[in-house]
Amino acid sequence: MKTILLMLIIIIEIFECKIQQDYLCISDQDDQMIELKSNEHCGSKTSYLTARYDRKLLLERDWHLNNQQCKPIYLYFLGRHSIRFPGLKEIIKQERLMPKYAKIISKNGTKLSNGIRHDLHYWTLMYDQTDQYHVTLSGKYETQTIAKIFYRYFPKLLNVDRIDVSVSRKIRTRETAWAFLRTLYDIQTPNSNKHTLKWDNKLNKMVSRHKIVESDLLMIHERCKKFGSPKEGKSAKYKELFHSLSFDKMRNDFSQRNGIKNEENFTIEHMYLLKSLCCYEQAIYQQSPWCSLFKPYERFAFNYLDDIKSYTDAYGYGINRKMACVLIADLRRKLIMARDDPHSINTTLYFGHDHLMYRLFSYLNLFEQFPHFKYDRNGQICLPINREWDSSTITPFGTNFVAILYDCDEDDDQKKLLTLVNENVVEIPGCTNGFCPLDEFLNYYEHLENDCKIEDICRLPES
């Protein structure tokens, strides 16, 4: 009996050690903190350039851009819109609650620096309800940077005269497309007086003549709602974590540390709203006094909470996974057209939303590894430190999936396909690697011509 108890104790100790190595237990003890990823990570509200800076493998390191045997002949770009302002409901909450908390914390938050207390004392919301969902100036700048990056990779393909552009019906995708196109026009139209008002008016007319089409393809994540199957929402795991004792303890520690009194009725929902405002201001203005109120593990915990929701949206429902087949079917048709007609368009640019990217990544079995949280022996929740599904790096503002068709002379006119996510080479089903013969891809997805109808998919039972 003693031997069995001893073995159980050893097993428990091993398990506890494993948790300490691979998991972060929510605690107020700073000495348990580990080196987390960039403190600027904010889930899907992270800026693309922040995520790009933290990625170690970029296309320039993975792929030889000056490959003499293979020439890029077609580019398929599917991107999320860039940095935007919050939606109307969230702006109304911020207008109602944030001025109150700014005054309380600036007055009572004794552990804050004088600079942060000063910034909170004079803080005002720099946008209003008329800005809802519009792309910010920082978003337009970031889109311009992304356009320049891909133009540097594929200058011959991003010729504005041979590009098709489609957006969703949401204004933020149209404004992102506009910024992307305007950058390409700016690069390709030589003019010594580009910064004059006359040049701006001329450029605006040129871009406005470029046909930007609204496509239902980019709103497939909403199509099933017509059939009474929203297939979105907060999972049981999300609710378990959000309403856990560990999260309530985190809220209490936060409120005590920042001088929020009990009578203020400070809830975990309010703490989440403060964190969301921190993320928006950080993405929009590159800084926010609200971010200084959070310890790294608190932001880490909220990021993981958001990832539960997005991962469930992607992998939790069979219908959500299946509906992304329309994107791959569309890609397949575009690749066949580019292969058979060398005079067709050089590039397809699509601008959509994060929910669209979730479904696409799920359909392609990308970033599938996502460990669930655990409990230690004291009932404390412990969150996994490393996971593939991390929206801060895979679905930030401006995230993109790109497929490039190559003509390789060395293989008797063999066409090959390169697939990328955020400039990193990825291997997708139907290809033996990230750079595979086109026929492999076309043959693998040939069934989609008959088996990919949204109306039929939306009527399927949940799985």
Strands 347-352 and 374-375, sheet pairing: unpaired
Structure-token match 């076309």, residue found: 442
Structure-token match 């348990």, residue found: 32
Is residue 328 within 8 A of residue 312, CB to CB? The reply is: no
Contact residues for 298 (Cβ-Cβ < 8 A; gap 6+):
250, 254, 275
Annotate 373-407 with DSSP letters as a single string: PEE-TTS-EEEES--S--HHHHSSTT-EEEEEEEE
- Which one of the listed residues 81, 221, 270, 353 is annotated catalytic? 81
Is residue 360 within 8 A of residue 401, CB to CB? The reply is: yes
Is residue 356 within 8 A of residue 220, CB to CB? The reply is: yes
Grouping H, G, I as helix, E, B as strand and the rest as coil, residue 10 is helix
HSE-CB at 76 with a 13 A cutoff on CA atoms is 22
- Which one of the listed residues 354, 376, 390, 407 is annotated catalytic? 354
Q: Quick one: which H or E segment has residue 452?
A: none
**Catalytic annotation present for 343:** no
**Catalytic annotation present for 354:** yes
| Spatial separation of the C-alpha atoms in residues 315 and 367, rounded to whole Å | 10
**Which amino acids are annotated catalytic?**
81, 354
